[in-house]
Amino acid sequence: MGCLLITRFDAHFNKLTQNNSKLDLCPGHRPSLPCTEGEVIAVDGKQLRGSRDKGSGQPAICMVSAWAAENRIVLGQRKTSEKSNEITAIPTLLQLLDLTGCIVTINAAGCQKENAAIVVDQNADYLLSVKGNQGHLYDDIEFLFACAHQNEFQGIDSDHVHTVSQGHGRIETRDCWIIDDPTQLAFIRDYRKWADLQTIVMIRTTRQLDDKVEDSTRYFISSLVADAARFLHIKRTHWAVENDLHWTLDLAFHEDRYQLRRGHGPANFSMLRHIAVNLLKQEETAKCGIKNKRLKAGWDNDYLLKILQVR
């Protein structure tokens, strides 16, 4: 009888569709936690490797999530369509969220005019990574910074910050330059088509570990007017979605090991894991990590009810 009930639940659960991908922090118990003014909302995708089905040729699904870095909660998620990628999922996710007063950071896949317009329409700001997928946008920004460096930024409204950090035997230096000069931005083709574009950003990072040295240069566009130090901080904060969310899902929930492949099951269980992450991160009485909180909730019903905020 028990196996029959599980089979029926599995069949029905896999058929459920996510008509609304916006998550409540504690469904049924209290309203979602509001975002803090100026908070960084990092939007990024994660592939669920266990959802891949080699037998049927079904690829692993990808879930795009919006992570509130300061409050450390998942605001929403969206599954990418089977024949597409993050590009189509991101605007749908952004439209579900209240982004007022926040700073939305998105990787190069989300560097689209539509996404910039959605963010600005909600009275928020954006910082979008620019790579070769944007064609002449990348080329124009690279050229502007090359000319500015050659002339030592003379006569250009700009700012620069240099930082050095050391740990685990590695030395990392970062240089961030910004240009918020309208006369320079006007040289970018289709400049006016990017909603409220105010600043272009260049970040050069050098990592040294023993005798090995790695250099990388990245470019960004933003609607924000700020100094270089703040842009560098915002970009580093973006990676909280990797360290605080994706890493937690893999380490504490073993997400990539879940071999659920049929129907909407993988996306639905991804949503449940995100809700669990929110609940566990907001519970602060137990001084331990997410993995141990899960164990404690399995052993102690009172603690489980506290997490669920029934008590």
Q: Cα(226)–Cα(191) distance, rounded to whole angstroms?
A: 19
pLDDT digits (tens, 9 = 90+) for 44-76: 888 766 566 666 666 666 788 899 988 888 898
- Report pLDDT for 127: 97
Q: Cα(261)–Cα(250) distance, rounded to whole angstroms?
A: 17
- Report pLDDT for 241: 83
Q: Where are the domains of the chain?
A: 20-307
- Closest Cα to residue 200, out of 190, 185, 187? 185
Domain 20-307 part of CATH 1.10.12: no
Tokens of residue 135, six digits: 């064609």
Please tell me what DSSP assigns to residue 255: G
- Report pLDDT for 81: 66
* pTM as predicted: 0.83
Q: Cα(200)–Cα(142) distance, rounded to whole angstroms?
A: 10
- Report pLDDT for 1: 45
Q: Cα(110)–Cα(130) distance, rounded to whole angstroms?
A: 9
- Report pLDDT for 30: 39
Neighbours of 304 (CB within 10 A): 15
- Report pLDDT for 159: 96
The answer to whether 279 and 308 have CB atoms below 8 angstroms apart is yes
- Report pLDDT for 25: 43
Centroid of chain to Cα 273: 16
pLDDT along the chain (311 residues), means of 10: 47 52 44 69 80 63 86 85 73 92 93 96 96 89 96 95 87 95 95 95 92 92 94 91 81 71 69 85 85 88 83 46
Query: What torsion, rounded to 10 degrees, do the Cα atoms 282, 287, 289, 295 define?
Result: -90
- Report pLDDT for 34: 57
Determine phi and psi for 206, rounding to 5 degrees.
-125, 125
